[in-house]
Structure 1
Amino acid sequence: MMHTVTIGVYTLCLVAACGLVAWSHRDPEAISSPSQLLDDLFTSHAARIAIIVFWWWIGWHFLFAQTLDG
């Protein structure tokens, strides 16, 4: 059951992201494109550090930690 919910949530996030990208191409004045959002985000040094820590956390918990379980 939990596996199905998790897959459903990730699928919903993917569909929402694709919808936002399509919306940004259709009406660029209403919503920024993903590349513009990332350009704006990475102007901040603190945001860069937060992204690096987040990716480290994802890698540790989902890639490396599973090898420790057995």
Structure 2
Amino acid sequence: MIRLVTIGGYLACLAAAVLVEMLAHRDPDRISPLGTLMDRVMATRSARIGILLFWWWAGWHFLVGQTV
């Protein structure tokens, strides 16, 4: 039961992300599209290093030691 709730939560987040992206492409002055946002975020070297370290940390804590 909890597994289905978790999967439903991830699907709801995915649907919300798709909806926001569609709204962003319809009215880019109101909501910035994902590509524009990523261009601004990745503009500095320190931000790129920070994002890399975050993904390393998340992978280490959630994926290392997981058994199938």
Task: State the TM-score, normalized to the length of structure 2.
Answer: 0.77
User: What is the CA distance between 1:35 and its match in structure 2?
Assistant: 0.5
> What runs of 5+ residues in structure 2 fail to find an aligned partner?
none
Larger helix percent: 1
* Aligned-partner Cα distance in 2 for 1:46–1:2: 39
> What runs of 5+ residues in structure 1 fail to find an aligned partner?
none
SS state at 1:65 partner: coil
Aligned to 2:28: 28
Aligned sequence identity (%):
49
Task: State the TM-score, normalized to the length of structure 1.
Answer: 0.76
User: What is the CA distance between 1:20 and its match in structure 2?
Assistant: 1.0
